[in-house]
Structure 1
């Protein structure tokens, strides 16, 4: 048996929420992500070309909401300082200080979304990293 060939057409990571409208407001109004696919109890937002995040009402999805969030949603941006000032002005929970990780070549900070998923905003500190 061989693996099917051909390009992937879309990437979606799904997060599960107790309060879907509140999560939608955060991803639309705070992060500015456009709604790409509306499936009713699942809302899929475009993050970048081919990359999406799906917000799911935990009462309908394949998984259940849990208070422990062992995942992080990361967005790479060209101006991490502007994003830091914006998030700081909003007073979002869990906001860290800006930090540099030379080992992986990023400058970043984190904060929490309305139900505790950690969001990282980062920029590359190295010219040899294409992403």
Structure 2
């Protein structure tokens, strides 16, 4: 494939407002498009997370999925962890090194239960 300009990973929700508060206010991701019942957040140049209220055949289905946000170093992982801890994010685990994959990371959950990992490569 050629000509790809961006990438969007879509997750669905019954109610958009708590998810917007999490992705915009807690994670600090900038909004690049607000379509009323859907919002798109930029995670890095060309990479985005889209949140959309369910419609048609779309469903909230967090089981088996994970969104990983890669940051520069372990200090950035620790800073993100403290920010999420203050916000009382659900499913929050403490940062740890996972030698098998050569990463340092922690996990939390968004308001719908989608697993979010913040990591850096060691």
- The question of whether the paired residues in 2 share the 8 Å contact of 1:95 and 1:111 is answered with yes
The two structures have a TM-score, normalised by structure 2, of: 0.88
SS at match of 1:92: coil
Q: 5+ residue gaps in structure 2?
A: none
| The structure with more radius of gyration | 1
SS at match of 2:108: strand
Deviation at 1:62, TM superposition (A): 4.8
Give distance in 2, aligned partners of 1:90 and 1:8: 35
Match of 1:37 among 33, 40, 44: 33
Identify which of structures 1 and 2 has the higher relative contact order when contacts are C-alpha pairs closer than 8 Å and 6+ apart. Answer: 2
Structure 1: which 4+ aligned runs deviate by more than 2 Å? none
Q: CA deviation at 1:116?
A: 0.7
Please give the root-mean-square deviation of Cα atoms over the aligned residues, in Å. Answer: 1.5
Structure 1, unmatched stretches of 5+, are 126-131
| Aligned counterpart in structure 2 of residue 49 of structure 1, from 45, 51, 76 | 45
